[in-house]
Amino acid sequence: MLSSLGGVLFDGFAYGMLLFLLSVGLSVTLGMMNFVNLAHCSFAMVGGYTTVTLVNQLGWPFLASLPAAFASAAVLSIVFERVLFRRLYKASDLDQCLLTIGVVFISIAAFAWFYTTEQQSARVPAWLQGSLQVGGVTFAYYRIFLIVVSLAISGALIFLLERTRFGAQVRAAVDNQRMARGLGIDVDRAFMITFALGGGLAGLGGALAIQVVGLDPTFALTYLVYVLIVVSVGGLGSIGGSFAAAVVLGISDMAGKYYVPWLGAFLIYLVMVGLLMWRPLGLFGKR
Amino acid sequence: MITAASDFFQRQARVRPLEIAFWLATLLPFVVAPAYLSLASQIAITALFALSLDLILGYTGIVSLGHAAYFGCGAYAAGLLARHYTAEPLIGLVAAAIAAGLLGYATSHIIVRFRHLALIMLTLGLGLLVHEAANSASALTGGTDGLQGVKMAALFGFKFDLYGRTAYAYSLAVLFLVFLVARRVIHSPFGLALRGIRENALRMPAIGAPSLAHLRKVYTIAAVMAGVAGALLTQTTSTVSLEVLSFGRSADVLVILILGGAGRLYGGIVGAIIYMVARDQVSGMNPQYWYFWIGLLLVAVVMFLPNGILGGLSALHKKSQ
């Protein structure tokens, strides 16, 4: 029991980092525009399939495909934001939900059409395979890589939001959109950039997830639930909250699967419902 | 003043000729398309489920992504009762209504306190929770295999046959009765208060309406109706699968209601007819691709037809006058 605890904590933490990458963009954009974007994981899927195509069919190295996954998801999210989502910022929650669920359904069918419904994989370089044994605990190299990348990105994000002019504009828009507009901040532009950044990070998360959880067209729906849990438990617009929620969720999901497999996902949903009832605005939510 | 108010309600509740024509038309399948009676009974059941969602979503404004929980609760209640105690369909219906109602009443205390994203997440979470619970309790529910071979006794001497004649008559009769109840609820002062809550949840308590009690009441009523629909599905198909509790079912009924027109009594019924007939026509298609069209439809309805098909029709009608 105890010897496995280290492994569960490590794997859970790596899994949590993945969830953080997938959800941080949604948290910030939801906090800014109150736009319930259930299609967020579809952008993650775009990144994942970009990597699969580049690595398996065009022979790109895995690492080089990661920025491409980021870019493709970011570009596509700008297109969707401009063409579709923009019109619904003032609409009801229900309309936003329905439209973005529609986009999820379309993306699932489209990827099933082009890539079949089979699980996809992408070759990773040899130095990312294998694992390290320390004191009976297995540390897979890929998961270490995942943690390092995610921590670096979190650091860069926090720097961007806390230390730069653009970050100040975003924070102002999240706190009070009308006031920010009144001060002359171009909220729409800030939002578009944030949306692209969030979509791109999701795409990167999708690409990195292939090795850990696999990739098939239902990814957009399966992981949507996890992403929504992270966002709503962490609190809208809070990067620290998303980080904490993702780590808690990753570790408890991994521990649940390891120690009480017969409970399935029951535990996760129970924790989510309980947390939401206790704090409807999330652990670190302000509004 | 009092006569003015009762005049208003009576005017609203007046039965229009088109309604009578519609309900008479529901008897047509017996004569015109006897081969499609099983499909017709599926449509009636789905319409009932959509009607129950309409009460909370269309009329009260409670967005739910987990309404299948009550449908599935009713389905399992009817299935388990038929398996272990009595195969009498009407008793099964009542038992399912009670079971779903209890679950609905218990969860309504949670649901009514939240709005916006937290509400959507909670309904989704509760739906998934019930689904996982049924999956884990496989000793009782059969897990992913579901309950097979739920034998039902004859209904007033009519056996449930392969052609679905009894099944359709039974489902249609139940749909009609529940519809009358829903119609009465909507056209009562209580129904008006619900629409008031939908339009402005803060102002209603200010004019003295007990908002939370109203919300709990309508949520429980909707859960009972969903449970009855679930029981009908169990009794007419003789099986219960885990799918009755799935997120897909919650999403489907939402699509059906939005397609037909939320906040209209006939919205769910019209949506169910169109959706189920369309799906039957393309039943050879891989479900993956079916959802492509559903997705496209959702985007189109939200962008161009915000009040559904019935809303679009009534806007056309107003324009032509």
pLDDT band at A2 (very low <50, low <70, confident <90, very high): low
How far is the CA of A251 from the CAs of A17, A258, B199, in angstroms? 10, 10, 42
Asked whether the predicted pLDDT for residue A1 surpasses 80, the reply is: no
Asked whether the predicted pLDDT for residue A218 surpasses 80, the reply is: yes
List pLDDT tens digits, range B134-160. Answer: 888 877 877 777 777 777 777 776 777
pLDDT band at B21 (very low <50, low <70, confident <90, very high): confident
Count contacts between A and B (CB, < 8 Å).
116
Determine which helix (DSSP H) or strand (DSSP E) holds A110, and give its type and residue range.
Answer: helix A93-115
Chain B residues contacting A via beta carbons under 8 Å: 57, 63, 65, 110, 113-114, 116-118, 120-122, 124-126, 128-129, 132-133, 135-136, 247, 251, 254-255, 258, 286, 288-289, 291-292, 294-299, 301-303, 306
Mapped onto helix, strand or coil, the DSSP state of residue A215 is: strand
Asked whether the predicted pLDDT for residue A44 surpasses 70, the reply is: yes
* Amino acid type, B77: A
Written as six digits, the tokens of A168 are: 């100040």
What pLDDT does residue B162 have?
67
Asked whether the predicted pLDDT for residue A160 surpasses 60, the reply is: yes
Higher pLDDT, A261 or A54: A54
Written as six digits, the tokens of A52 are: 């699969």
What pLDDT does residue A200 have?
92
How far is the CA of B308 from the CAs of A83, B266, B313, B314, in angstroms? 22, 11, 9, 10
- Residue of A147, A234, A199, A250 whose CA lies nearest to A42: A199
Asked whether the predicted pLDDT for residue B123 surpasses 70, the reply is: yes
CB contact set of B219 (below 8 Å; sequence gap of 6+): B56, B62, B104, B105, B107, B108, B111, B112
> At A123, phi and psi to the nearest 5?
-65, 135
pLDDT band at A48 (very low <50, low <70, confident <90, very high): very high
Determine which helix (DSSP H) or strand (DSSP E) holds A133, and give its type and residue range.
Answer: strand A131-134
- For the ranges A39-53, A254-268, B257-271, which has the lowest average pLDDT? A254-268
Asked whether the predicted pLDDT for residue A287 surpasses 70, the reply is: no
The complex scores an ipTM of: 0.80
Identify whether the C-beta of residue B55 lies closer than 8 Å to the C-beta of residue B215.
no
- Residue of A34, A42, A27 whose CA lies nearest to A205: A42
CB contact set of B168 (below 8 Å; sequence gap of 6+): B29, B30, B37, B38, B40, B41, B44
The sign one gets for the Cα dihedral A245, A247, A248, A250 is positive
Rounded CA-CA distance B228/B189 in Å is 25
What pLDDT does residue B231 have?
93
Compute the average pLDDT of residues A118-141.
79
Q: Which of A23, A26, A36, A105 to mutate to test the interface with B (most CBs of B within 10 A)?
A: A105
Rounded CA-CA distance B200/B209 in Å is 12
Higher pLDDT, B222 or A213: B222
Rounded CA-CA distance A159/A142 in Å is 26
| Contact across the interface for B122 and A277, Cβ inside 8 Å | yes
Give the 3-state secondary structure of A245-287.
HHHHHHHHHHHHHHHCHHHCCHHHHHHHHHHHHHCCCCCCCCC
Compute the average pLDDT of residues B37-62.
91
CB contact set of B84 (below 8 Å; sequence gap of 6+): none
Q: Where do runs of H (alpha helix) occur along chain B?
A: 2-13, 17-25, 28-32, 37-53, 68-84, 89-111, 116-136, 138-141, 165-186, 189-199, 203-206, 211-237, 247-260, 267-281, 287-304, 308-320
Tally of residues, chain B: 321
The most confident of B73-82, B152-161, B279-288, by mean pLDDT: B73-82
| Contact across the interface for B63 and A94, Cβ inside 8 Å | yes
What pLDDT does residue A68 have?
93
pTM: 0.85
